């Protein structure tokens, strides 16, 4: 069995066909261990580190960073027995497979690759260099030189005298300027000092020459701005690949397959912000980051319990609506490689602290670019927090296979009627997009209203809803 094993790019999940090599974590000659990360690859799902399948020494890297490789193609060769001495030389069988070049004379002279006159080899055009050394013919009268033949003298024919052609008189030509303006040296120096381009001036002097007055007038005129260019020098081309490519395909497929409807609700979340401050002060939440997104996530999970049809999928293949009894809650995250929507598995079963921990882990892993493909598959309902960018709300597009997504906008101090008086309250706007094949206006409105009711008074909702 061969010591050298070629490690191919594996299928990293859900039938992916290719991946881009982001960086190598090893180099040729490195000793590696079993399951040691050796390369970072970006697929259409995420950037992942691939571990070594064998221990040994890296003998060859087939593709440099930045190369897109198909699944199943070799990416690295590993010597699995580096202590076994020198690598074996090629066998006689392998050498027998090598094609031997034909001997000289076996190819017809003048054919490509064959011998040609003068010891040359025929190439595609003309002949190649000589393969034999040149020999000089001996001079006449020297030993070994051939005797000159005696030729009887005969009158040499007289060649007719050449007839001289009639002289051609050139037509008069204007003085050549070689593309330069006519100007005396002092005028040229003045133009250089004043930063004036002589070729842009129509001269008023003799034969159209440029005078000092012409240069001074040009210098006094305001210079016209350079015309803007609209070419590739002012363009940037970004290859569409990896996460961004898959996201674009999914968004197009979702936008043109599921009829989207979006509804909005503006909510006073002053009590939600107070509840967040209280949770931060509690001992059991002391080491966990608490944010308003936690309260929005909890509101969505509780509202799903009242309206389970929102957490469903339209199956065109089977002609069914599949209602999920579990909520894999997706959280849209913007990364350097594009938008991803990892999800918290079975989020409805988590306690408030467990939900907070899961949210923090999800966001941190997404920012690092290490979200595994499994965390981005199987989502059932999603939230996109556009408020972190200072945006009030939006009309989000559904992730494929989901029937609803909630946009959570920025929380702003806003004049608000509270208890019959205008006061400054903390206010946000929610936007719910849903698949109108599954969720009609009434169901979508009830679901959005319940999310808003929870955020208006989360402490009362937690006591009465659970």
Supply the residues annotated as catalytic: 436
**321 class by beta-carbon count within 10 Å (0-12 exposed, 13-18 middle, 19+ buried):** middle
HEC assignment per residue over the chain = CCCEEEEECCCCCCCCCEEEEEEECCCCCCEECCCCEEEEEECCCCEEEEECCCCEEEEEECCCCCCEEECCCEEEEEECCHHHCCCCCCCHHHHHCCCCCCCCCCCCCCCCCCEEHHHEEECCCCECCCCCCCCCCCCCCCCCCCCCCCCCCCCCCCCCCCCCCCCCCCCCCCCCCCCCCCECHHHHHHHHHHCCCHHHCCCCCHHHCECHHHHHHHHHCCCCCCCCCCCHHHCCCCCCCHHHHHHHHHHHHHHCCCCEEEEEEEEECHHHHHHHHHHHHCHHHCCCCCCHHHHHHHHHHHHHHHCHHHCEEEECCCCEEEECCCCCEEECEEECCEEECCEECCHHHCCHHHHHHHHHHHHHHHHHCCCCHHHHCCCCEEEEEHHHHCCCCCCCCCCCCCCEEEEECCCEEEEEEECCEEEEEEEEEEEEEEECCCCCHHHHHHHHHHHHHHHHCHHHHHHHHC
Judge residue 120's burial from the number of C-beta atoms within 10 Å of its C-beta, 0-12 exposed, 13-18 middle, 19 or more buried.
Answer: middle
Name the residue with tokens 């005969």: 154
Strands 381-385 and 404-408: parallel
Q: Structure tokens of 360?
A: 């923090």
Cα–Cα distance measured from residue 305 to residue 101, given in angstroms and rounded to the nearest whole number = 79
């Amino acid at each position: 069995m061969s010591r050298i094993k070629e490690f191919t790019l594996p299928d990293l999940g859900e039938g992916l066909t290719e991946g881009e090599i982001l960086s190598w974590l090893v180099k040729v000659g490195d000793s590696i261990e079993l399951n040691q990360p050796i390369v970072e690859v970006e697929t259409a799902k995420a950037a992942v580190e691939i571990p070594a399948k064998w221990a040994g020494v890296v003998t060859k890297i087939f593709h440099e960073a930045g190369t897109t490789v198909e699944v199943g193609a070799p990416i690295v060769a590993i010597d699995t027995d580096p202590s076994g001495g020198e690598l074996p030389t090629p066998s006689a069988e392998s050498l027998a497979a090598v094609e031997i070049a034909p001997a000289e004379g076996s190819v017809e002279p003048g054919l490509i690759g064959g011998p040609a006159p003068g010891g040359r080899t025929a190439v595609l055009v003309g002949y190649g260099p000589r393969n034999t050394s040149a020999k000089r013919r001996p001079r006449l009268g020297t030993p070994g030189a051939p005797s000159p033949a005696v030729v009887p003298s005969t009158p040499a024919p007289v060649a007719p005298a050449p007839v001289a052609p009639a002289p051609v008189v050139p037509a008069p030509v204007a003085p050549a300027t070689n593309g330069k303006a006519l100007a005396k040296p002092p005028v040229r120096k003045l133009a250089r000092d004043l930063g004036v381009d002589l070729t842009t001036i129509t001269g008023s002097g003799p034969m159209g020459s440029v005078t000092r007055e012409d240069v001074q007038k040009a210098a006094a005129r305001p210079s016209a701005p350079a015309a803007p260019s609209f070419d590739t020098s002012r363009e940037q081309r970004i290859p569409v690949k990896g996460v961004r490519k898959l996201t674009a395909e999914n968004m197009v497929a979702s936008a043109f397959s599921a009829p989207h409807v979006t509804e909005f609700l503006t909510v006073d979340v002053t009590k939600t912000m107070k509840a967040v401050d209280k949770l931060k002060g509690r001992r059991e939440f002391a080491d966990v980051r608490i944010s308003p997104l936690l309260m929005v996530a909890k509101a969505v999970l509780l509202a799903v319990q009242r309206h389970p049809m929102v957490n469903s999928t339209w199956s065109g293949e089977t002609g069914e609506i599949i209602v999920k009894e579990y909520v894999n809650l997706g959280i849209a995250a913007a990364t350097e490689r594009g938008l991803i929507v990892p999800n918290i598995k079975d989020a409805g079963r988590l306690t408030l602290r467990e939900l907070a921990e899961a949210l923090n882990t999800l966001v941190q892993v997404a920012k690092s670019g290490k979200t595994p493909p499994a965390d981005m598959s199987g989502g059932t309902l999603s939230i996109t927090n556009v408020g972190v960018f200072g945006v009030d709300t939006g009309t989000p597009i559904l992730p494929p296979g989901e029937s609803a997504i909630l946009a959570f906008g920025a929380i702003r101090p806003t004049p608000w009627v509270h208890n019959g008086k205008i006061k400054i309250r903390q206010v946000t706007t929610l936007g719910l997009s849903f698949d109108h094949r599954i969720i009609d206006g009434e169901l979508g409105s009830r679901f959005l209203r319940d999310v808003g009711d929870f955020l208006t008074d989360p402490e009362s909702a937690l006591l009465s809803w659970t």
